[in-house]
Amino acid sequence: MQTQVAIVGAGPAGSLLALLLHQAGIEVVVVERQSRDYVLSRIRAGVLENGTVELLRSAGVGARLDAEGHVHTETGIAYRAEEIFYFDIGKYAGSQFVSYGQTEVQKDLYEALDAAGVPILFEADDAAIHEPTGEHPYVTCVHGGEQVRIDANQVVGCDGFHGPSKDAIPHLRRYEKTYPFGWLGILSETPPLEHLIYANSERGFALCSQRNPMLSRYYVQCPLDDTVDDWSDDRFWSELMARLPQHVGDEIVTGPSIEKSIAPLRSFVAEPMRHGNLFLAGDAAHIVPPTGAKGLNLAVSDVFYLSRGLVRHYHDGDDHYLDTYSDMALRRVWASVRFSWWLTSLLHRFPDQTEIDQRLQEAELALIQTSDRAQALLCEQYAGMPFES
């Protein structure tokens, strides 16, 4: 099998990149280790920055997002039991964000790729990248019980934190920070709150989020050694309410969970994001704690930079944007890693945290609440910076 660009991983980054390249007349083949149903069953982020929304629209996959997504400009932060304030990215950053689940983005991308006839090899085992610094790197995998070789001009690794693409880059620099807690998240078929609300509580972090008008997503901080079996629905709702101001909790409609999972938190960056004709994008290159809602948005920004570079390469013979891809992408990555680390540190209860640490968190939140300059800085970062030209 031969193509111009081979993509390993058919999550949001790989799928969106494949669609953009196909629309530009560039041949693409995508390899995915999991089944299509498995990819669509993964519960992930649901907050899309304005730049992400605009790129999805330009790719022709924004219709359902516009019809069903919930537009926000304000997000709440609760602390000191009954204290809550809202930071307004519309006012301070001239922007907005949309609540629309990653699963829904993935469905839209698959439908567009199906209609375009872009080949995706699902359930492809043992994927490996060969000769990444050569003029014609290639990917091998086992698909349908047969060995498959895909010859290409470029290979893009969109295969996540555990995929093989990073391992094909010698002397890759890896930066990692793990956090001593996880997020227990549930989905419930209940009407969500009007706004997203973060909570800093002496009992730990909590988050009220949403997916659509009848699907809510809630989280509480929990120990890493907890399991889903440790958390009945009743225990979860009780703990969530205990971490929120009473007037916020009184507005929450509870109900049976339809999905429940625990996710560890980590910060991870791999440098460089290019090695010869192998490029990394999305979670293959970086992971951020979900606190800042940056994971999916960073993957989309990678796709923006890389698709632009590949289109210029094939259409104009201009390699400027390919040659600067890693540097451009990493500037945005590190800014988002820093912001996500800061927000995580500000809102969570750490195991060794003392009473003075808690009061210092509350003092910083009070500063943000009362300072226009502090709110403007928070809003600018939360909204997401424009893509670099």
- Residues with a catalytic annotation lie at 72, 198, 290, 294, 382
Nearest residue to 361 (alpha-carbon basis) of 201, 197, 178: 201
Please, is 114 exposed, middle or buried when counting C-beta atoms within 10 Å of its C-beta (0-12, 13-18, 19+)?
A: exposed
CB 282 within 8 A of CB 298: yes
> Following CA atoms 258, 263, 267, 272 in sequence, which dihedral angle do they give, to the nearest 10 degrees?
-70
Sheet holding 138-143, edge to edge: 125-130, 138-143, 146-151
Query: Which tokens belong to 378?
Result: 């928070």
C-alpha 253, offset from chain centre: 27
The H or E element containing residue 141 is strand 138-143
Helix ranges (DSSP H) in 194-293: 233-242, 246-249
**Amino acid of residue 329:** A
Which stretch of DSSP H or E encloses residue 104?
Answer: helix 102-116
The span from the CA of 8 to the CA of 1, in Å, is 14
74-79 and 196-199 strand pairing = parallel
CA angle 123, 126, 132 (to 5 degrees): 115
State how far the Cα of 85 lies from the Cα of 240, in Å rounded to an integer.
18
Cβ(195)–Cβ(252) under 8 Å?
no
- Matching residue, tokens 């891809």: 325
Distance CA 156, CA 45 (A): 22
Token code pair at residue 213 = 């008008």
Tokens coding 208:
């009220």
